[in-house]
């Protein structure tokens, strides 16, 4: 099979010729730039090579074509033109991480020293406005900086929380089309990161790409508002959904079958031990919009719909299926109730598991290579049976992961994925 055929078979619950693999297809299936640097050196050499930071919020590294080939990657990315800090990946320049790793960053990746140590980063690279991100000293990625102004409920306007949702420009459409066609021309699968369909994604609420934010932008305030300002949040979602559906129509016409999967939402509903939203609350506030987005995709395209939701979300999986999601990520098996065998048995006929291949909290960063190999082999045996499994770790591979453990994971992928 070609990579594209392999992904299509997997998404349709058919057993592919070998394991279907993704690293770098989305911002939740990537690898830290420091880990990419170590892995690339181990597999390909080239000591002078500087890995590009293609997602600066989480400091994810580019998995370039040579590394994709070495890892056997089947899925390529179709991602938005601008990063989480509002600038494009272009005009590359050298940058040094706290640990000394030499990388490349976009030209508008501008940081200044923070008073408490570490770095501040700025929306659109504009250092004349308040910073929108902060990386602690010796850290590996940025946290969003809260820039919420005092809230007056009498003056809340949904326009303040929806100004980031707008029709896609021709430049944006052309950018998506180039990526999707590049994948298709190389017989690779492609996953589209759909803009504007992540209702209430807490990584997006602070709007780190905007120079000035209005409305509800503080993380805790937003979560409380889903209850105490429920009608306001619902109205925000209604406007967001209207714009998203119009953009989806143009994306479907432009990309067609060059794309096989659509990453719709990264809204997390789970903690380590359970959900922090009841099924009733999900059905009331989120499901109506998930159904509209997924319904459009299924009616007008051959794409499969992808939801990312961390934590123990087993109690919500039936609702996700009812909402029309075809793919579950990151499949956090370390969380309460997320046993891989149970997940495959109970939901494997309805959902493709995209992730779950290696635990990035404990085993991959802190186990021995032998433990990693056995762990990954077992996950492949469980999830890849009868198809319906795209191999990836549970969320992004973190910066402090030993290269020996990453190599053990790759070895297991290749030896056990046939």
User: For a pLDDT cut of 90, what percent of the chain falls above it?
Assistant: 98
Q: Give, for 307, the enclosing helix (H) or strand (E).
A: strand 304-308
**pLDDT confidence tier of residue 56, bands split at 50, 70 and 90:** very high
Specify whether the CB–CB gap between 318 and 287 falls below 8 A.
Answer: no
CATH number at 327 reads 3.20.20.210
11 occurs within a structural domain: yes
Asked if pLDDT for residue 418 goes beyond 90, the answer is no
96 occurs within a structural domain: no
Residues sharing a CB contact under 8 Å with residue 20, sequence separation 6 or more, in sequence order: 3, 6, 7, 9, 10, 74, 75, 189, 389, 390, 391
pLDDT tens digits for range 277-292: 999 999 999 999 999 9
What's the rounded Cα separation, in Å, for the pair 400 and 402? Answer: 6
What's the rounded Cα separation, in Å, for the pair 1 and 418? Answer: 12
45 occurs within a structural domain: no
pLDDT tens digits for range 305-316: 999 999 999 999
> What three-state secondary structure class fits 22?
coil
Specify whether the CB–CB gap between 328 and 28 falls below 8 A.
Answer: no
Residue corresponding to tokens 């032998």: 370
Task: Name the domain count of the chain.
Answer: 1
pLDDT tens digits for range 374-411: 999 999 999 999 999 999 999 999 999 999 999 999 99
307 occurs within a structural domain: yes
Residue 305 has a CB neighbour count (10 Å cut-off) of 25
103 occurs within a structural domain: no
Average pLDDT, the chain: 97
88 occurs within a structural domain: no
> What three-state secondary structure class fits 225?
helix
Asked if pLDDT for residue 208 goes beyond 90, the answer is yes
Read off the pTM: 0.97
pLDDT tens digits for range 329-358: 999 999 999 999 999 999 999 999 999 999
**pLDDT confidence tier of residue 173, bands split at 50, 70 and 90:** very high
Residue range(s) defining the domain that contains residue 18? 3-31+61-83+147-416
Specify whether the CB–CB gap between 20 and 10 falls below 8 A.
Answer: yes
pLDDT tens digits for range 114-126: 999 999 999 999 9
**pLDDT confidence tier of residue 112, bands split at 50, 70 and 90:** very high
**pLDDT confidence tier of residue 417, bands split at 50, 70 and 90:** confident
226 occurs within a structural domain: yes
What's the rounded Cα separation, in Å, for the pair 337 and 148? Answer: 36
pLDDT score for 246: 98
Q: Which two tokens stand for residue 107?
A: 């030209």
**pLDDT confidence tier of residue 298, bands split at 50, 70 and 90:** very high
DSSP at 175: H
Q: Exposed/middle/buried for 76, CB within 10 Å: 0-12, 13-18, 19+? A: buried
152 occurs within a structural domain: yes
Evaluate the CA torsion angle 208, 214, 215, 220 in order and state its sign.
positive
pLDDT tens digits for range 7-51: 999 999 999 999 999 999 999 999 999 999 999 999 999 999 999
Specify whether the CB–CB gap between 36 and 63 falls below 8 A.
Answer: yes
Specify whether the CB–CB gap between 308 and 329 falls below 8 A.
Answer: yes
Q: Give, for 94, the enclosing helix (H) or strand (E).
A: strand 93-96
């Amino acid at each position: 099979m070609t990579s594209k055929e392999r992904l299509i078979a997997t998404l349709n619950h058919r057993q592919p010729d070998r394991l279907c693999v993704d690293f770098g297809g989305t911002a939740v299936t990537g690898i830290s730039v420091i880990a990419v640097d170590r892995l690339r050196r181990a597999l390909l050499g080239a000591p002078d090579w500087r890995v590009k930071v293609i997602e600066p919020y989480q400091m994810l590294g580019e998995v370039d074509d040579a590394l994709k080939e070495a890892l056997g990657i089947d899925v390529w990315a179709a991602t938005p033109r601008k990063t989480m800090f509002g600038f494009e990946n272009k005009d590359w320049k050298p940058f040094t991480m706290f640990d000394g790793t030499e990388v490349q960053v976009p030209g508008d990746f501008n940081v200044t020293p923070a008073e408490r140590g570490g770095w501040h980063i700025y929306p659109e690279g504009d250092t004349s406005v308040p910073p929108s991100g902060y990386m602690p000293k010796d850290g590996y990625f940025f946290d969003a900086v809260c820039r919420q102004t005092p809230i007056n409920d009498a003056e809340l306007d949904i326009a303040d929380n929806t100004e980031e949702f707008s029709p896609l420009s021709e430049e944006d459409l052309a950018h998506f089309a180039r990526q999707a066609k590049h994948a298709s021309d190389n017989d690779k699968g492609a996953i589209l990161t759909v803009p504007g369909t992540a209702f209430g994604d807490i990584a997006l609420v602070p709007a780190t790409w905007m120079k000035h934010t209005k409305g509800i932008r503080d993380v805790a305030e937003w979560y409380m508002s889903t209850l105490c300002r429920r009608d306001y949040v619902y109205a925000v979602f209604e406007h967001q959904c209207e714009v998203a559906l119009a953009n989806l129509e143009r994306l479907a016409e432009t990309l067609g079958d060059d794309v096989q999967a659509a990453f719709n939402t990264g809204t997390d509903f789970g903690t380590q031990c359970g959900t922090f939203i009841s099924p009733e609350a999900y059905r009331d506030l989120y499901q109506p919009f998930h159904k509209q987005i997924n319904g459009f995709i299924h009616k007008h395209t051959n794409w499969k719909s992808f939801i990312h939701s961390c934590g123990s979300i087993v109690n919500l999986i039936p609702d996700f299926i009812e909402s029309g999601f075809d793919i579950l990520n990151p499949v956090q098996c370390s969380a309460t109730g997320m046993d891989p065998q149970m997940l495959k048995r109970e939901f494997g006929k309805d959902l493709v598991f995209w992730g779950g291949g290696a635990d990035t909290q404990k085993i991959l960063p802190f186990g021995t290579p032998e433990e990693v190999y056995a762990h990954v082999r077992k996950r492949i045996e469980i999830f890849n049976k009868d198809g319906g499994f795209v191999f990836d770790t549970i969320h992004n591979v973190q910066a402090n992961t030993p290269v020996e453990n990453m190599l053990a994971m790759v070895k297991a992928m290749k030896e056990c994925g046939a």
